[in-house]
Amino acid sequence: MDKVVSSPQEAIAGITDGMSLSVGGFGLCGIPSVLISAIHNAGTSNLEAVSNNCGVDDWGLGILLRDKRIRRMVSSYVGENKEFERQYLSGELEVELTPQGTLAERLRAGGSGIAAFFTMTGVGTQIAEGGLPWRYAADGTVAIASPPKQTQDFDWMGETKTFVLEQAITTDFGLVRAARGDRHGNLVFHESARNFNPLCAMAGRVTVAEVEELVEPGELDPDQIHLPGIFVQRVLPLTPEQATDKRIERRTVRPRPTSTTGTTGTTRTREQEA
| CATH assignment of the domain containing 45 | 3.40.1080.10
Q: Are residues 139 and 186 in the same domain?
A: no
State which of 167, 186, 207 marks the end of a domain: 167
Q: Are residues 232 and 213 in the same domain?
A: yes
> Would 253 be classed as within a structural domain?
no
Which pTM was predicted?
A: 0.89
> Would 57 be classed as within a structural domain?
yes
Question: Can you tell me the distance from the alpha carbon of 74 to that of 96, in angstroms, rounded to the nearest whole number?
Answer: 5
Q: Are residues 183 and 79 in the same domain?
A: yes
Q: Are residues 36 and 152 in the same domain?
A: no
241, pLDDT greater than 50: yes
147-179 pLDDT per residue, tens: 999 999 999 999 999 999 999 999 999 999 999
Q: What is the pLDDT at residue 75?
A: 96
Q: Are residues 100 and 235 in the same domain?
A: yes
13-41 pLDDT per residue, tens: 999 999 999 999 998 899 999 999 999 99
Residue-number span of the structural domain to which 202 is assigned? 8-115+171-244
